[in-house]
């Protein structure tokens, strides 16, 4: 049984259940909006990095370490965030995350020392995303969808792209006209107004609370979510029927291999998100133009995530990731070429290839995890697995800064990151979610 508070365990009459369409899509829209804001903050770090390096003269490794702490705070906090989602429900957890994010961003806008950057952005904002970020949204959306889970995750993840395309250029504009302090105040206001009210109003812990079933099937749902009886083929009934907990999952080799898959998957992605603006500016491109490239990648990642969400249901998680990896490797080659051959066209092609390759990650990592460990404790399990995402993000961001400080170039870091993406694809083939559950077309 789901660990929800007593007032959330029984279906109650609600306008939400009377809509002419499945309320799960409202959940997707709400989560997408949360991610647009929280990851707008996340990916705007790249433009703040350039401004802060100019003003304070910090080393790139030291400044990148703030983002690494941010990622680790999010990752380890997500263990608790996932558990809180299981117990208290999203309408309580995500608004708290929005408020905490606003507090951290306000503190960041007042900082004058590096340690304050680590405290306000690295620690407080990182913890905020463990309550109003990817893990809570995955835990919630997975309860509302089964057969269409990949597609729903794709639309949910598209919010990250929306936040990137809007927030990154906007932050760069505010930095250029009013300073980085004003840009952080802007983000604080958006986080406070845009997350807490709508999350409290629209989010519901599961379809059974509205007398619905996952994917909008007619009839009252069960309080215990399962994947049986839906258009999902159970390939390994013994594995799929186990009542998974964090402890029991952690005793399997698949759990650790899945964690390694997530760790190596994000190294190159986050390395590029954090350092691509600095790399392009170093290569002679205009700061605002570099910010627009980030926005372009964010914009194109929205349809890419929806596309991959559909394809990972149709082609399988493993093949989809392999195809995405090829696109990531192409993006790395184009970015390296753009550094030696000053060409806006090559930079644009990089943005397209990167958006396509990066877009596969959110739907594949969430659906693969659900294929293996779906159940009443999935929020907690996915939160534990997300530690791998935090480690990979922290490592990728810091390593690129360190390599630049030592060698004066990002090239070696990009090549290491590309190699990690190949390892990630191999790990998922070994984990083989297709051998536990397979979505039928």
DSSP state string for 34-100: HHHHHHHHHHTHHHHHHHHHHHH---HHHHHHHHHHHHHHHHHHHHHHHHHHHHH-HHHHHHHHHHH
Tokens of 395: 């490592």
Dihedral pair phi/psi, residue 152, rounded to 5°: -65, -40
Give the whole-angstrom CA distance, residue 193 versus residue 95: 10
* Whole-number Cα distances in Å, 193 to 30, 102, 122: 14, 9, 22
Contact 81, 137 (CB under 8 A): no
Give me the numbers of helices (H) and strands (E) for the chain, helices first please. 19, 2
Q: Please choose, from the candidates 106, 105, 127, 112, the residue with its C-alpha nearest in 3D space to the C-alpha of residue 58.
A: 112
Contact 113, 63 (CB under 8 A): no
Question: Measuring CA to CA, which residue among 110, 108, 121 is closest to residue 69?
Answer: 121
Cα gap 150→366, rounded to integer Å: 8
Q: Tell me the CA distances in angstroms from 319 to 64, 203, 428, 433, one per residue in order.
A: 33, 33, 9, 11
Report all structural domains of the chain as residue ranges with CATH numbers, in order of start: 18-210+227-439 (1.20.1250.20)
User: What is the Cα Rg of the chain in Å?
Assistant: 21
What phi-psi label fits residue 255: left (phi over 0), alpha (psi between -120 and 50 degrees) or beta? Answer: alpha
Alpha helices (H) in 145-286, listed in sequence order: 149-178, 180-194, 196-202, 237-240, 246-250, 253-282
**Cβ-proximal residues to 124 (8 Å cutoff; 6+ apart), any chain:** 100, 103, 104, 107
Q: How far apart are CA 237 and CA 99, in angstroms?
A: 42
In this structure, what token pair is assigned to residue 87? 């117990």
Q: Are 283 and 342 in contact (CB under 8 A)?
A: yes
CA distances from 147 to 92, 136, 214, 356, 362 (A): 28, 20, 8, 23, 17
How would you classify residue 440: left for phi > 0, otherwise alpha for psi between -120 and 50, otherwise beta?
A: beta
pLDDT at 231: 62
Asked whether 258 and 389 are in contact (CB, 8 A), the reply is: no
Per-residue pLDDT of the chain in tens (441 residues, 90 and over written 9): 334 443 444 445 567 767 788 888 999 999 999 999 998 998 888 889 889 988 998 988 898 889 889 988 988 888 788 778 878 888 899 999 999 999 999 999 999 999 999 999 999 999 999 999 888 888 888 888 877 777 888 888 888 888 888 888 899 899 999 999 999 999 999 999 999 999 999 988 888 888 888 877 644 333 333 333 346 678 888 898 889 898 999 999 999 999 999 999 999 988 998 888 889 988 988 888 888 888 888 888 888 888 888 888 888 899 999 999 999 999 999 999 999 888 889 999 999 999 999 889 888 988 898 889 988 788 788 888 888 888 998 899 899 989 999 999 999 999 999 999 999 999 999 999 989 887 765
The alpha carbon torsion through 303, 306, 309, 312 (nearest 10 deg) reads -40
Distance CA 99, CA 31 (A): 16
Count other C-beta atoms under 10 Å from residue 7's C-beta: 8
Position 431 scores a pLDDT of 92
Largest pairwise CA distance in the chain? 63
* Count of C-beta atoms within a 10 Å radius of residue 189: 13
């Amino acid at each position: 049984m789901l660990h929800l508070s007593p007032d959330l365990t029984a279906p109650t009459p609600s306008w939400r259940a009377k809509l002419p369409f499945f309320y799960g899509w409202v959940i997707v829209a709400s989560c997408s909006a949360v991610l647009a804001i929280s990851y707008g903050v996340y990916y705007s770090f790249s433009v703040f990095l350039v401004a802060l390096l100019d003003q304070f003269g910090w080393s790139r490794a030291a400044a990148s370490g703030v983002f690494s702490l941010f990622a680790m705070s999010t990752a380890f906090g997500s263990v608790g965030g996932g558990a809180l989602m299981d117990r208290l429900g999203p309408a309580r957890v995500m608004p708290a995350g929005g408020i905490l994010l606003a507090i951290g961003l306000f503190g960041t806008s007042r900082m004058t020392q590096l340690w304050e950057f680590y405290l306000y952005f690295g620690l407080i904002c990182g913890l905020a995303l463990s309550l109003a970020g990817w893990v809570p949204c995955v835990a919630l959306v997975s309860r509302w969808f089964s057969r269409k889970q990949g597609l729903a995750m794709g639309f949910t993840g598209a919010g990250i792209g929306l936040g990137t395309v809007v927030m990154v250029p906007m932050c760069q504009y505010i930095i250029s006209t009013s300073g980085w302090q004003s840009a952080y105040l802007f983000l604080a206001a958006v986080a406070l107004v845009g997350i807490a009210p709508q999350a409290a109003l629209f989010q519901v812990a599961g379809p059974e609370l509205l007398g619905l079933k996952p994917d909008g099937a007619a009839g009252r749902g069960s309080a215990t979510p399962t994947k049986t009886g839906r258009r999902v083929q159970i390939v390994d009934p013994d594995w799929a029927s186990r009542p998974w907990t964090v402890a029991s999952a952690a005793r399997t080799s698949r759990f650790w291999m899945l964690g390694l898959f997530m760790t190596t998957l994000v190294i190159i992605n986050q390395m590029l998100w954090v350092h691509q603006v600095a790399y392009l500016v170093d290569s002679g491109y205009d700061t605002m133009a570099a910010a627009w490239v980030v926005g372009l990648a964010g914009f194109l990642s929205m349809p890419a995530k929806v596309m991959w969400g559909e394809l990972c249901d149709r082609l399988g998680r493993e093949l989809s990731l392999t195809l995405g990896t090829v696109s990531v490797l192409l993006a790395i080659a184009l970015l390296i070429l753009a550094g030696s051959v000053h060409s806006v066209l090559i930079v644009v092609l990089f943005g397209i290839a990167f958006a396509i390759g990066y877009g596969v990650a959110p739907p594949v990592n969430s659906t693969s995890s659900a294929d293996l460990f779906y159940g009443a404790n999935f929020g907690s399990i996915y939160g534990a697995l997300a530690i791998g995402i935090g480690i990979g993000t922290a490592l990728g961001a810091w390593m690129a800064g360190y390599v630049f400080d030592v060698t004066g170039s990002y090239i070696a870091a990009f090549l290491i990151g590309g190699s990690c993406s190949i390892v990630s694809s191999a790990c998922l083939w070994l984990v083989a979610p297709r051998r536990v559950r397979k979505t039928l077309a």
